[in-house]
């Protein structure tokens, strides 16, 4: 299925440098996204989703350590020269950032912000600002507006227009609907879905909320404490997750639009771990209700489960039929 993936990530580690010392935010992630495929990436706040997204285009702060490999359309992002990296950014992969409120320059007109990207990569695109605005359902007039004159949903549309303007292979959508109200969320999701289908784009769709993944993703990866703990075909995984954390997350499908229900999955006590002081063994063990003694010392690697070739899980109980997980 994944012959020549658009994105191929191997053993990715991202460690921020903070005044309190190194912060290992992503710890050994493998990821593949095929052409035209959408991978959903879910996990609680702070598990490293945005860090992973930013690292894909080397957008993390300069002092940050990144290791492993990232192949974007076969090109190695982590080893390329800055000049090459600038050509790859936006033309190969673009990002719809989390929190559209501040991602547009407040003192530059919308049109010129979109045009800036088009001019920069005019080799790869012949789109015009007008076409891009029309594509996301905005009027021509928006080109002359400044960001503060638009609503949150409109700004997110502008961001999507901008992300599409250079015809990338991959779009990274980092919680594209957080901070929007329910109606607008649905519209934006629909818009992304349509565009993706029309253009045959690959997408990495990041969210807190497993429920939005069911209808618009092909595969889903669940992230915990900087690692992927379970990955598999979307429907299969969402219907019957194997990893105790995925299950807790799936059971806690939050009420859309209620921010309180989003951060605290139901039936999952405690907070996500602080990357500075991760628990020993399986980092989920302090919150896991099926943990056994060895979980405190042994950290199980992500590996294929016997019952399905497409599923990978990182848990001692992964192949444990008798302890069938409810």
Ligand X SMILES: Nc1ncnc2c1ncn2[C@@H]1O[C@H](COP(=O)(O)OP(=O)(O)OP(=O)(O)O)[C@@H](O)[C@H]1O
Closest contact distance (angstroms) between CB of 93 and ligand X is 17
Strands across the sheet containing 21-33: 21-33, 7-18, 65-72, 75-76
Which residue's CB is nearer to ligand X, number 47 or number 250?
Answer: 47
Residue 225 tokens read as 């404490």
Which residue's CB is nearer to Mg ion, number 69 or number 98?
Answer: 98
Residues 6+ apart with CB under 8 A from 140: 130, 133, 134
CB-side neighbour CA atoms (13 Å) of 136:
27
Closest contact distance (angstroms) between CB of 205 and Mg ion is 13
From ligand SF4, ligand X, Mg ion, none, which one binds at residue 311 (CB under 5 to 8 Å depending on kind)?
Answer: none
Residues of the shown chain interacting with ligand X in the complex, contacts defined by CB under 6 A: 16, 18, 23, 25, 43, 45-51, 61, 98, 208, 275
Residues 6+ apart with CB under 8 A from 2: 32, 34
Residue span 22-61 as binding mask against Mg ion, x where in contact by CB under 5 A, dash where not: ----------------------------x-----------
Q: Give buried/exposed letters for 58-73 (b at 16+ CB in 10 A, else e).
A: bebeeebebebebbbb
Three-state DSSP class for residue 220: strand
Q: Does 106 bind other proteins (CB under 8 A)?
A: yes
Residues 6+ apart with CB under 8 A from 146: 106, 107, 108, 109, 110
Which residue's CB is nearer to ligand X, number 143 or number 192?
Answer: 192
CB 239 within 8 Å of CB 214: no
Which residue's CB is nearer to ligand SF4, number 170 or number 288?
Answer: 288
Q: Does 140 bind other proteins (CB under 8 A)?
A: no
Which residue's CB is nearer to Mg ion, number 45 or number 289?
Answer: 45
Q: Does 52 bind other proteins (CB under 8 A)?
A: no
Residues of the shown chain interacting with ligand SF4 in the complex, contacts defined by CB under 6 A: 244, 282, 284-285, 288, 290-291, 295, 300, 315-317
CB 100 within 8 Å of CB 155: yes
Binding region for other proteins (CB under 8 A): 54, 57, 59, 86-91, 94-95, 97, 99, 102-109, 116-117, 120-121, 146, 148-149, 162
């Amino acid at each position: 299925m994944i012959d020549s993936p658009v994105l191929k990530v191997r053993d990715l580690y991202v460690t921020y440098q903070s005044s309190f010392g190194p912060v290992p935010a992503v710890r050994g992630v493998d990821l593949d996204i095929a052409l035209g495929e959408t991978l959903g990436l879910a996990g609680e706040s702070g598990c490293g989703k945005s860090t992973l997204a930013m690292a894909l285009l080397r957008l993390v702060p300069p002092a940050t350590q990144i290791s492993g490999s990232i192949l974007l359309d076969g090109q190695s992002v982590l080893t390329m020269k800055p000049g090459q990296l600038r050509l790859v950014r936006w033309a190969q992969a673009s990002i719809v950032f989390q929190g559209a409120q501040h991602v547009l320059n407040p003192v530059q007109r919308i049109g010129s912000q979109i045009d800036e990207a088009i001019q920069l990569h005019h080799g790869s695109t012949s789109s015009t600002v007008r076409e891009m605005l029309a594509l996301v359902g905005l009027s021509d007039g928006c080109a002359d507006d400044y960001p503060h004159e638009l609503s949150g949903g409109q700004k997110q549309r502008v961001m999507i227009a901008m992300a599409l303007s250079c015809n990338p292979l991959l779009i990274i959508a980092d919680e594209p609907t957080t901070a929007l109200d329910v109606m607008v969320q649905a519209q934006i999701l629909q818009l992304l879905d349509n565009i993706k289908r029309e253009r045959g784009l690959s997408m990495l769709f990041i969210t807190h909320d497993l429920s939005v993944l069911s209808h618009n993703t092909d595969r889903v990866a669940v992230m915990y404490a900087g690692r992927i703990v379970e990955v598999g075909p979307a429907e299969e995984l969402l219907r019957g997750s194997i990893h105790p954390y995925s299950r807790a997350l799936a059971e806690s499908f939050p009420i859309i639009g209620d921010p309180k229900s989003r951060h605290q999955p139901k039936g999952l006590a405690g907070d996500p771990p602080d990357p500075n002081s991760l628990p020993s063994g399986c980092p989920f063990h302090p919150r896991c209700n099926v943990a056994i003694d060895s979980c405190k010392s042994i950290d199980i690697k992500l590996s294929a489960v016997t019952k399905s070739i497409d599923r990978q899980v990182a848990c001692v109980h992964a192949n444990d039929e008798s302890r069938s997980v409810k």
